[in-house]
Structure 1
Amino acid sequence: MQIQFNDHPVSCAENTTVVQLLSSFHQLKPGTALALNQTILPREHWDTHILQPGDDLLLFEVIAGG
């Protein structure tokens, strides 16, 4: 199935979880956040959330500052 990952089309198998996708790209790192279809997906859901065709994922680094 086709999804978008960081503004690039990506093919992945059906029933792929967010953790599986990020692991396949070596992007499962601390200090990152994920927006799924323009909504933040809490990290505790990454291992159970199954991706759907057409999903749009944006992975970004969380930066704290003042």
Structure 2
Amino acid sequence: MKRMEITVNHQTYSVAVPCSVVQLLTAVLQIPGSGIAVAVNQSIVSKTDWSVYHLQPGDQVMLIKATQGG
């Protein structure tokens, strides 16, 4: 199986090719998709596109968690 390296919040992961944002969140990071925003290479990826947005080798992924308060 072909693999690639991506960076998530400054930590490197080796993931299978192809890998969508949903696959990254559920299979690799094992976190729920609720309450977070995802940016790839400093561009926000709409939640509706997570299942079809495929990551590329070397992508820089940033997970932004929503917090309450103000």
The answer, yes or no, to whether TM exceeds 0.5 is yes
Count of aligned pairs between the two proteins:
66
Unmatched 5+ stretches in structure 2: none
In 2, the alpha carbon distance for the partners of 1:11 and 1:20 equals 13
Larger RCO: Structure 1 or Structure 2 (Cα < 8 Å, ≥ 6 residues apart)?
A: 1
Give identity over the alignment, percent. 38
Alignment match of 2:26 (pick from 23, 27, 34):
23
Structure 1 unaligned blocks of 5 or more: none
Higher strand share: 2
Q: Deviations over 1:10-56 (max 9, x none)?
A: 10011111100100212233111011100111000100011100001
- TM-score, length-scaled by structure 2: 0.83
Q: Summarize the alignment of residues 15-54 of structure 1 with structure 2, pairs less than 5 Å apart.
A: 15-24=18-27, 25-54=29-58
The TM-score normalised by the length of structure 1 is 0.88
